[in-house]
Amino acid sequence: MASSSSSSSSSFPFILFFTLLCLCKCNASPRLPTTLTIIPISSHLSKSSLPSLDQIDAHDKARLIFLDSLAAKKEATIASGTPFHQAGSYLVKAKVGTPGQALLMAMDTSYDAAWVPCSGCIGCSNPTPFAHKNSSSFRPLHCAMPQCRQAPNSFCAAPWCRFKATYGASSFEGLMSLDSLALADDTLPRYAFGCLRQVTGKPVLSQGLLGLGRGPLSLLSQAGNLYRNTFSYCLPSFRSSSFTGTLRLGPVGQPTRIDFTPLLTNPSRPTLYYVNMTAIRVGRRFVNLPPSALAFDPTTGAGTIFDSGTMVTRLVAPAYAAVRDEFRKRINLPVSSLGGYDTCFTEPFVPPTISFHFDGMFVTLPRENVVIHSSYGTTTCLAMASAPDNVNSVVNVIASYQQQNHRVLYDVANSRIGVSRELCS
């Protein structure tokens, strides 16, 4: 009897401990999703300043040159007079420094590093740059730190790490830095980013840039386990002034009913989100494609990527020709061209749907994602084009216009991308 009483009394603290532990876990609030509003850059422009089809085409040609430059850390050349990240960009609000200073940053899935225009920058066009001297947590990045070697085109001006890059008629340089980055309610201390100090030629970044790629300086890498290598976005129409999308960081709150396709890794372009596209369908008909048009080849860079910075989907020449010809056959109206678009119509028509097929997933585009309308007049064009001749023409780019009003989920932790229909509002 005494033995039983002693055993009961000695076990009481353990019972109490596990009871309290259970209560703590049961009452703990689950982590809410980190969600940022996505704003089309065009919402900051007047209607007369919205990009024309010619400007969209020029932007995308420059973008593909930039994507091509990622292969061997080459400097990218952009067409003279074409502002980089001025058309087709989607912005999110962030705060940099202590106390936090509000900045708009363009989200870019094909870039790793972050850049912000800093006060005193010569040639920067941002009227409210980051006042780094007013931040108590701002620190220049020392040359010996690993982030210096990870930054593109970096060099050491002892003891501080600097960078420079050239884009045709434009170039910029600055200081690699560390400071606090706040996104919604999350704060990432000692975030490595570029502090722009000088821009010559055409301004290349009127706002900051937030890299969402797969490399060591990207948001996913620098956030550690906070977002578990997962994010998604829903992009609103770039011509819309009333709709906004969302950037959702981390696995919480992501769609559960969604199909996925595996991510592929290209060692020559480790930042890019490669997937295996297997077929393209126009209406109910699969177009006839040579296997080489869609094949993934890390050596040449061939394959298919998802990219937020290219505006209109670009297909390699054989794939585009097959899609274009079938599209024209379905419309059966006189064809004209406008700028870089060779499949345009001036008469009203109902476009067929177009579907992209991937391993384990297919995405059928709604009609508003298939055609693009001229800002002036009644011309409507197929919202796709062939890769320009002056760049690596072996990569297919699933661009932001075709991604609009879809939730695109980048689950890097499980090496996959998912797409589901979602209206951004």
Alpha carbon distances (Å) from 217 to 9, 152, 197, 226, 238: 56, 10, 20, 15, 27
- pLDDT-based confidence at residue 13 (cuts at 50, 70, 90): very low
At 204 the pLDDT is 53
- Which range has the worst mean pLDDT, 18-22, 248-252, 346-350? 18-22
Using alpha carbons, select from 303, 266, 304, 280 the residue that is nearest to residue 399.
304
pLDDT at 371 over 60: yes
What's the confidence (pLDDT) of residue 202? 64
Select, from the ranges 122-136, 239-253, 355-369, the one with the highest average predicted confidence (pLDDT). 355-369
Mean pLDDT of 198-212: 77
Q: Which of 4-8, 296-300, 418-422 has the lowest mean pLDDT?
A: 4-8
At 191, the pLDDT band (50, 70, 90 cuts) reads very high
Q: What is the CATH number of domain 34-234?
A: 2.40.70.10
For the chain, give the mean pLDDT: 84
pLDDT reading at 80 higher than 50: no
Tell me what pLDDT residue 305 has: 97
pLDDT bracket for residue 170 (50, 70, 90) = low
pLDDT of residue 228 exceeding 80: yes
Q: Output the pLDDT for position 201.
A: 72
Q: Pairing between strand 341-345 and 406-411?
A: unpaired
Whether residue 108 lies in the annotated active site: yes
pTM, two decimal places: 0.87
Strand partners, 420: 407
> Average of pLDDT values for 97-122?
93
Residue closest to 106 by CA, chosen among 224, 247, 200, 225 = 247
**Closest listed residue to residue 413, CA positions, set 225, 270, 266, 274:** 225
How many other β-carbons are positioned within 10 Å of the β-carbon of residue 332? Answer: 8
pLDDT in the model for residue 247: 96
What pLDDT shows up at residue 227? 97
Q: H or E segment at 10?
A: helix 2-27
Indicate if the pLDDT at residue 168 is higher than 90: no
Q: What is the mean pLDDT of residues 252-264?
A: 96
Lowest mean pLDDT among 14-28, 81-95, 113-127, 212-226: 14-28
- According to DSSP, residue 292 is labeled G
- Would you call 115 exposed, middle or buried from its count of C-beta atoms within 10 A (0-12, 13-18, 19+)? buried
The strand ranges marked E within 32-72 are 34-40
pLDDT for the residue numbered 392: 60
Q: What is the pLDDT of residue 152?
A: 82
Topology match between the domains 34-234 and 254-421 = yes
Cα torsion 383, 389, 395, 398 to 10°: value is -20
Q: Give the CA distances from residue 54 to residues 308, 327, 369, in Å, rounded to whole numbers and listed in that order.
A: 19, 21, 18
> In the annotation, is 389 catalytic?
no
Q: Pick the catalytic residue: 57, 60, 179, 307?
A: 307
Poorest-confidence range of 68-72, 156-160, 226-230? 68-72
pLDDT at 172 over 70: yes
The answer, yes or no, to whether residue 424 has pLDDT greater than 90, is: no
pLDDT at 125 over 70: yes
402 — pLDDT class (breaks 50, 70, 90): very high
pLDDT at 56 over 60: yes
Which of 57, 108, 112, 179 is an active site residue? 108
* Mean local confidence (pLDDT), 151-160: 92
pLDDT of res. 200: 82
Domain ranges across the chain: 34-234, 254-421
**How large is the average pLDDT for residues 173-177?**
95
60 or 113, higher pLDDT: 113
Looking at the predicted structure, is the pLDDT value of residue 28 above 60? no
CATH architecture of 254-421: Beta Barrel (2.40)
Residue 340: the pLDDT is: 85
